[in-house]
Amino acid sequence: MSTPVYLSAKEAATELGVQPATLYAYVSRGLIRSVPGPGKQRRYDASDVRRLQERKEPGDPADPRPLSGTAVLETRLTLITDEGPLYRGQSAAELARSSTLETVATLLWGCDDDPFAAPAPQSFAIDLEGLAPLDRLMMALSAWPQQDRAAYTLSPALLQKKGAALLRYGVAAMLRQPPSNAPVHSQIAGAWGTAPDAKGVLRAALVLSADHEFNTSTFAARCAASTRAPLHAALISGLGAFMGPRHGASSDRVSAWLSEIRSREDIEPVLAARLARGDGLPGFGHRIYQDKDPRANALLQIISETASDRPFMAAVPDLIGQAEALYGSSPNIDFALSVAQRVFDLPADAGKILFCTGRIVGWIAHALEQYQAVDQIRPRATYIGERPR
């Protein structure tokens, strides 16, 4: 068996003729594998580097051709690493230990002044009864111009404050509560009547969900912002993509199969039955992370530290071990959110609400950054249909 060849970051970037940031983007997209190297350095699979360098044929599924004139869209917001996302160079996992979502918002939005010092917006002028949480959010965002006469402004001096108001407004809509100046995790804990020890877990979940580079919903929000759509409309675009079962609503699918496990004795038969039926295991595996999702690790660790004495928490290590043995993949953030929901007896939509609430901060950050860019995002397609003869 041949021994794999690994390159340093400098060697790999040189062979590809790109900057290190582009190399890291290729790694985050799964185009190049990396392994731990000496110290804190990484080493990069030479076969992946050379295959990427040599590939010229259009239509290759891994084709890194540009979307808008560069190899990848540029951002100063979030870098995905094997240790998890870095928000403007700061570890999201470390921020989750002590920071509020509002603090992370001021970091990602590049604030000099606190946009959350302004009063909360007014209560809703529309009827949101009978709607699910994300539908209430969609309706509330659509009605935002009723609240704000300057809803269509793109003034940099106003947008950060509008972002803070929209976050509070959106959270209130999902919770069916009046908008509040209280920290978001406290609002959620109060609305759900959670035990005091759950507040830190809620806060951590929000921080870890805030941004993850150019996921589908964030890219949709940036596309809208690139047309100079107003901020609330960019959020609507992101929310529309988020609502799909393969993205933000994935935690619902996790909670569905997790509800079948009532004790440790249920773990093996439930997972084995799913595998025998050919059912996937939502909450395990990730398109970006080749090994573990560091966000899931961070949140599960915080849950364990907080609620080690709760009955279901004792079964989680066995559950993860069985899932990895049968499916060959590790838990992702959706699984961790569903575990929090189960351990702390949170409402049925809790995982989805936490994920969406955190991600609103990221959508706003990306919209603000995109407003500063000159180009409109306009990808080109590779046409594979019939041509004139």
Q: What is the CATH number of the domain that holds 366?
A: 1.10.230.10
Q: What is the pLDDT of residues 170-216, one digit of tens each?
A: 999 999 999 999 999 999 999 999 999 899 999 999 999 999 999 99
Q: Which of 57, 86, 115 is the last residue of a domain?
A: 86
| Average of per-residue pLDDT across 124-128 | 75
Whether residue 115 sits in one domain with residue 13: no
Whether residue 111 sits in one domain with residue 64: no
Whether residue 107 sits in one domain with residue 18: no
375 is catalytic: no
Whether residue 171 sits in one domain with residue 32: no
| Average of per-residue pLDDT across 223-240 | 97
Whether residue 152 sits in one domain with residue 14: no
Whether residue 164 sits in one domain with residue 131: yes
Out of 48, 334, 349, 366, the active site residue is: 334
In a domain, 93, yes or no: no
| Average of per-residue pLDDT across 132-153 | 94
In a domain, 1, yes or no: no
Q: What is the DSSP letter of 100?
A: -
Whether residue 294 sits in one domain with residue 155: yes
334 is catalytic: yes
pLDDT at site 72 = 58
Whether residue 227 sits in one domain with residue 184: yes
Out of 185, 212, 232, 286, the active site residue is: 286
Q: Which of 86, 110, 135 is the last residue of a domain?
A: 86
Whether residue 184 sits in one domain with residue 127: yes
Q: What is the pLDDT of residues 48-106, one digit of tens each?
A: 888 887 654 444 444 444 433 334 588 999 999 889 999 999 999 999 999 999 999 99
Whether residue 298 sits in one domain with residue 351: yes
Q: Which of 86, 121, 152 is the last residue of a domain?
A: 86
In the chain, the number of structural domains is: 2
Whether residue 192 sits in one domain with residue 146: yes
3-state SS of the chain: helix, strand, coil percent to 5?
Answer: 55, 5, 40
| Average of per-residue pLDDT across 20-36 | 83
Q: In which domain, by residue range, is 67 found? A: 6-86
